[in-house]
Structure formats: C-alpha cells, structure tokens
C-alpha cells in the first residue's frame, strides 16, 4: 500500500504539510511552531524517500519502479504517470534531503512572515519531487512551471536589496524557456497522433514508439522540438550565455532559497536534457552535441574567471555554479557511459557542496550582515568549526581527491576524452580540465582572504562559532561529501543501467539522421 503509492505520497506530503501550516496559522498563530511543523513534514518526506532505495537496488535494470498511472484529463489524453529509475532516484533523495536542511538553516534567520516562508518551501518541495518522477510530459511541465512560483515569492519577499529585480528576472527567464517547451510537448503529442493513431503525452509510450520506429519525427520537426526543449533546460541549467539570471537570483535569494535553487532547481535542467532531449530525440542530440560542448566549455571557463573577481562571497559561489554546471552539460553530451554517469554524479555533488557553501555563507551573513570578502579575514581564530567546514566544502567544490567533486569531474573528463560524438574531443578535455585549476584558484584565494590571515576588522574577532543546530545541519552534507568521494559505488551502480540505456539510445539509434550514426560507429573502430 505504502510502497505502491510511495511517489504520490512523496509529492503530496509536503503539500499536506503546507496546508497543515496554514491551518495552524489560522487557528493558533504560534510563530514558533511553524518551523517545527515544516521540519517534521520534510523529515518524514526524507525518510519515506529512502524507501525508494528498496526497489531501485544496486545493478538494477533501467526499468521504472514505483510506477503509477491513472487518467488525468481524458479530453486531452494526459495521464498522471509517475515512476522512478536510477537517474531520478538520487535527485529525489537529494531534494528531500536539502529541504529539511534548508528549513533548519532558516530556523532563526527567517523571522519575518515565517508562516508563508515555510508554506512556500513545502509547496516547492512537492513541485520539485514531481519534476523528477513525472513520466507524462504534461505533468512534467506542470511541476516544472509550478516550481517557479514559490521560488519567485521566496526571492521576492525574503531576498536581499535587489530582490525584486532578481525575482522578476528569474521568473521571466525561466518562463520564456519553458513555455516554448510546452509548444514542443504539444507538437510531440500530435506527431504521435498522426502516425500512431492516438496522441499521447506519455513518456514511455512515446519512447517506445520512437524506438520501434512506429513514429518518426521528421528532421525539421525534430530540429525545432529539440531546440524548444533544450532552450527551456539550458536556461534552467544555466548554460552560457543564458546564465545571467543566476548570479542575481542566487545572490538575492535568502540562504534557504539559494540552497534549493543551486541544489535542486538547476538539476531540473540537466535532468531534462538527459531524460527528454537525449531520450526522445537522440539524432538531434548528436547533431547538436558539438555546440553544447563548446557552450559548456565556455561556461566552465567563463564562470570560473568571473567567480575569481567577485568581491561578494555569495556571488562567487553563484558563478562557480555556472562553471560546475558546465561540467555536467559537457558530461551529458560526451555520450559515453563514464561522461554521463559522471554528469549525473556531478549533479548530486554540486547539490551537496554548493548547498553547503551557500549554507556557510548564510551563517556568516547572519552574524556579520555582510558578504564582502574584504570585510572578513582571519575567521579561523574566532570560528574554528565554521572554518573547518568551510574549507572542506570548498575543497569538495574544487574537486580534491577523496572528496565527492573529484569523482564526478574525473568521470566527466574521462568520458569527454573517450567521446566519439564530436571531433577534437581531446582539445575539449584539456580546456575543460583547466576549469578544475581555475576552481582551485578562485576557491583557495577566497579561503585565504576570508578564513586565514590576520583579523583585519575588529568585529570579526568577537564572532561566535557555529552552534549545535548549524553544526547538525552541516554534518549530513559533510558525511555525504566524504562518502561520495571515497565510495561512489552505491550511487553509480544504481544509476548505471538507466544512464547506459540513454547512452545506447543516443549512440546506436538510427533515424532521420541515419548517416550520422554510421559516422559514430566508424569513429569507434578507429
């Protein structure tokens, strides 16, 4: 019973929590209870999400588990179809982990309108889980769009100085992309209707029809539909040059918002690329791969260089996201098992380490009400706990061996080196690899100016170190960094078959652009 409806429960539970919060707020109005209720619901959701591991075991095949399918709108032909496979499994768990962590991080910093804050947070959690488990394109779109609204409010109400600008920019940027994707989704529906009789938004039905050749998307349609999907996802990732909303949104958002934004919302883009662009239109993916690789590499270098010169720690971390997400896109479009597994792994890494960095930045902001690097220095003396955590999180973000970042980046670079999807892959690998060096430069330089050295400002000497709550919420992330860096097997072995299925689909499929696949085969033999 529980297992069969697990995904629905995961989606609904946070919303139920939000409704409970509203009810509590209407009748009791006890400010201090809100965070506890929110925490309770998010922790239960996290615990339940761990049940997903029971059916998606190690070395499990690519099939979807916990599937649920009921007709939603008969007139439109849309199903409420959910399922989890190795690719979405960890993203769901990442989501359910980061939400209680960010609720804990807002414990004392969100005083103003706390009720609405936690309500939005829980609604956002529902939407995010929904994105990763939907197997119906319309439902996917629905959750994808729905996640915008609570985040818009979170940035706008609890954000920093330029929050209105950042919130509007965030909303409109992402809405433009996803609306075009909606056109693509509807177009797919009618392509299926024309060739197979009945239209469908169902991902698995579409995939089946495309695989078996019952439905063939003509090259010109595939071109535009691929671009429509890719546009939506690349804005979300964000791929250079569509990244300009990110630094503003990340910097202005409250700490919890930044953590969720970087930790989960960005992954919706890369997840979408993997699942829909590569899965549904592999020929186009091959055709566009060189462009994506170039943009991803520009993003890696550009993000790192811009991060280096930021005077604001939060903005620095934001730009480092552009660089890291560039790696993820590079891995996806390498079309090798290593690269794509690495991309998936890097999504999780980025969620954990960048999430931790935003949390830490939020913690010093709470104490000093500034994020300027020049206002800090020598924090190691008054705040040893903070400094330790900050250093470890930074090193994980850089990609130091034995920490999680290394595994992901190494796999991505290896995959790019082995890739046959585009020429000059070794050049791509070499340029992208410098991104790791740049990461070390901007991170270590920032660490040196913030954590080490002499105390330059008197008020820093009196800062209190992390309290038990703050340590407690960072510990899980820290453990994950170490475990994922040393023992990646439980993660990678679960996602392997699902990722390989997509990879096979891209490299082996023949279709409208059939000649291309021959070329790939030849490359392999060389």
Partner 1 sequence: MNFFAVALQAGTSPDINFPLILPEMIVCGVAVLVMFLDAFMRRSQRWVTGGLSLLGLAAGAAATIWLWTRGAGSLGTFNGMIVLDEIRLSFTLVVIFVSALTVLLSVVWVEGEHLPAGEFHSLLLFATSGMMLMASGGDLVIIFLGLEILSIATYVMCGFRRTDLRSNESSLKYFILGSFSSAFLLYGIALVYGATATVRGSGVVAGTTNIAQIGERVMAGDIMYPALLFAGAAFMLVGFGFKIATAPFHVWTPDVYEGAPTPVTAFMAAGPKAAGFASFLRVFIFGFPFVGAVASASSATNVHDAWLHALAILAIITMSVGNVAAIVQNNVKRMLAYSSIAHAGYALVGFVAAGAATDATQRADALAAVAFYMLTYAVMNLGAFAVVTLIARQNDRRTEVEDYNGIGFRAPALSFTLSIFLLSLLGMPLTAGFIGKVAVFASALNVGSSAPAASSLYTILVVIGVLNTAISAYYYLRLIIVMFFRERTTEWAVPRIPASMALVLVITILGVFYLGLFPGRVLDAFKRKPASGAVTQIAR
Which residues lie near partner 1 (CB under 8 A)? 71-76, 113, 116, 138, 141-143, 145-146, 148-149, 152-153, 156-157, 163-164, 167-168, 171-172, 175-176, 179-180, 182-183, 186-187, 189-191, 193-194
Taking the complex as a whole, the smallest distance from the CB of residue 204 to partner 1 amounts, in Å, to 21
Complex with partner 1: residue 28 or 190, whichever CB lies closer: 190
Complex with partner 1: residue 144 or 438, whichever CB lies closer: 144
Give the per-residue SS3 of 155-177: HHHHCCCCHHHHHHHHHHHHHHH
Complex with partner 1: residue 50 or 73, whichever CB lies closer: 73
Complex with partner 1: residue 148 or 246, whichever CB lies closer: 148
Taking the complex as a whole, the smallest distance from the CB of residue 183 to partner 1 amounts, in Å, to 6
Complex with partner 1: residue 49 or 126, whichever CB lies closer: 126
Task: List C-alpha distances in Å: 368 to 66, 376, 394.
Answer: 47, 9, 20
Spatial separation of the C-alpha atoms in residues 243 and 115, rounded to whole Å: 32
* DSSP letter, residue 523: H
Taking the complex as a whole, the smallest distance from the CB of residue 287 to partner 1 amounts, in Å, to 21
Taking the complex as a whole, the smallest distance from the CB of residue 465 to partner 1 amounts, in Å, to 34
Spatial separation of the C-alpha atoms in residues 162 and 253, rounded to whole Å: 10
Residue 84: what are its φ and ψ, rounded to 5°? -130, 135
* Token representation of residue 119: 């309500």
Complex with partner 1: residue 217 or 403, whichever CB lies closer: 217
Complex with partner 1: residue 189 or 516, whichever CB lies closer: 189
- Alpha helices, DSSP H only, in 28-113? 31-50, 52-55, 86-105
Taking the complex as a whole, the smallest distance from the CB of residue 72 to partner 1 amounts, in Å, to 8
Complex with partner 1: residue 41 or 189, whichever CB lies closer: 189
Spatial separation of the C-alpha atoms in residues 50 and 387, rounded to whole Å: 31
Complex with partner 1: residue 106 or 503, whichever CB lies closer: 106
**Residue 133: which residues within 8 A CB-CB, separation 6 or more?**
7, 10, 11, 66, 82, 83, 84, 88, 92
Taking the complex as a whole, the smallest distance from the CB of residue 76 to partner 1 amounts, in Å, to 7
Taking the complex as a whole, the smallest distance from the CB of residue 141 to partner 1 amounts, in Å, to 7
Task: List C-alpha distances in Å: 295 to 12, 146, 242.
Answer: 38, 28, 10
Complex with partner 1: residue 218 or 525, whichever CB lies closer: 218
Taking the complex as a whole, the smallest distance from the CB of residue 175 to partner 1 amounts, in Å, to 5
Taking the complex as a whole, the smallest distance from the CB of residue 75 to partner 1 amounts, in Å, to 4
Q: Could you give the 3-state DSSP secondary structure of residue 79?
A: strand
Taking the complex as a whole, the smallest distance from the CB of residue 249 to partner 1 amounts, in Å, to 14
Spatial separation of the C-alpha atoms in residues 260 and 321, rounded to whole Å: 13
**Residue 236: which residues within 8 A CB-CB, separation 6 or more?**
174, 177, 265, 266, 268, 269, 272
Complex with partner 1: residue 140 or 410, whichever CB lies closer: 140
* DSSP letter, residue 459: H
Report the run of H or E that residue 61 belongs to, with start and end: none
Residue 429: what are its φ and ψ, rounded to 5°? -60, -45
Complex with partner 1: residue 146 or 463, whichever CB lies closer: 146
Complex with partner 1: residue 186 or 216, whichever CB lies closer: 186
Residue 381: what are its φ and ψ, rounded to 5°? -70, -55
Question: Quick check: 262 and 321 in contact, CB under 8 A?
Answer: yes
Taking the complex as a whole, the smallest distance from the CB of residue 194 to partner 1 amounts, in Å, to 6
Q: Could you give the 3-state DSSP secondary structure of residue 358?
A: helix
CA-angle at 272, arms to 185 and 322, nearest 5°: 130
73 has which bridge partners?
A: 78
Taking the complex as a whole, the smallest distance from the CB of residue 279 to partner 1 amounts, in Å, to 22
* DSSP letter, residue 370: -
Taking the complex as a whole, the smallest distance from the CB of residue 459 to partner 1 amounts, in Å, to 28
Spatial separation of the C-alpha atoms in residues 314 and 6, rounded to whole Å: 37
CA-angle at 189, arms to 188 and 194, nearest 5°: 95
């Amino acid at each position: 019973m529980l297992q069969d409806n697990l995904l629905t429960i995961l989606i609904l539970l946070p919303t139920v929590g939000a409704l409970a919060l509203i009810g509590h707020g209407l009748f009791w109005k006890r400010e201090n209870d809100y965070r506890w209720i929110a925490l309770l619901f998010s922790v239960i959701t996290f615990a339940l999400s761990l049940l997903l591991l029971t059916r998606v075991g190690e070395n499990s095949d690519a099939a979807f588990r916990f599937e649920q399918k009921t007709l939603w709108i008969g007139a439109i032909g849309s199903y409420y179809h959910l399922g989890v496979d190795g690719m979405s499994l960890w993203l769901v768990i990442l989501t359910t982990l980061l939400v209680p962590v960010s609720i804990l991080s807002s414990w004392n910093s969100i005083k103003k309108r706390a009720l609405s804050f936690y309500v939005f947070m829980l609604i956002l959690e529902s939407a995010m889980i929904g994105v990763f488990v939907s197997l119906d394109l319309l439902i996917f779109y629905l959750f994808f769009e729905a996640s915008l609204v609570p985040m818009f409010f979170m940035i706008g109400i609890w954000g920093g100085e330029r929050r209105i600008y950042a919130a509007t920019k965030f909303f409109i940027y992402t809405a433009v992309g996803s609306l075009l994707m909606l056109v693509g989704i509807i177009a797919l529906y009618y392509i299926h209707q024309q060739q197979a009789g009945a239209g469908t938004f169902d991902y698995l039905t579409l995939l089946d029809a495309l695989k078996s050749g019952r439905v063939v998307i003509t090259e010109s349609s595939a071109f535009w539909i691929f671009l429509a999907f890719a546009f939506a996802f690349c804005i979300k990732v964000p791929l250079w040059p569509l990244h300009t909303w990110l630094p503003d949104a990340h910097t202005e958002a409250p700490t919890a918002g930044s953590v969720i934004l970087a930790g989960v919302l960005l992954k919706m883009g890369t997840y979408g690329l993997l699942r829909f662009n590569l899965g549904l239109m592999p020929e186009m993916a091959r055709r566009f791969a060189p462009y994506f690789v170039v943009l991803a590499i520009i993003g890696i270098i550009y993000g790192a260089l811009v991060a280096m010169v930021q005077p604001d720690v939060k903005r620095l971390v934001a730009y480092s996201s552009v660089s890291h997400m560039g790696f993820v896109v590079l891995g996806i479009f390498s079309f090798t098992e290593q690269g794509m597994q690495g991309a998936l792994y890097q999504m999780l890494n980025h969620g954990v380490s960048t999430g931790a960095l935003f949390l830490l930045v939020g913690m010093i902001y709470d104490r000093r009400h500034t994020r300027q690097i020049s206002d800090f220095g020598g924090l190691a003396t008054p705040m040893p706990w903070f400094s330790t955590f900050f250093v470890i999180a930074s090193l994980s973000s850089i990609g130091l061996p034995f920490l999680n970042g290394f595994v992901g980046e190494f796999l991505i670079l290896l995959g790019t080196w082995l890739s046959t999807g585009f020429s000059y892959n070794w050049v791509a690998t070499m340029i992208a690899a410098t991104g790791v060096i740049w990461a070390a430069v901007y991170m270590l330089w920032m660490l040196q100016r913030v954590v080490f050295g002499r105390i330059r400002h008197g008020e820093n000497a009196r800062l209190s170190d992390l309290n038990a709550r703050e340590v407690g919420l960072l510990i899980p992330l820290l453990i994950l960094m170490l475990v994922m860096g040393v023992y990646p097997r439980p993660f990678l072995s679960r996602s392997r078959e699902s990722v390989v299925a997509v990879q096979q689909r891209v490299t082996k499929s023949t279709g409208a652009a059939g000649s291309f696949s021959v070329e790939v085969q030849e490359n392999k033999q060389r």
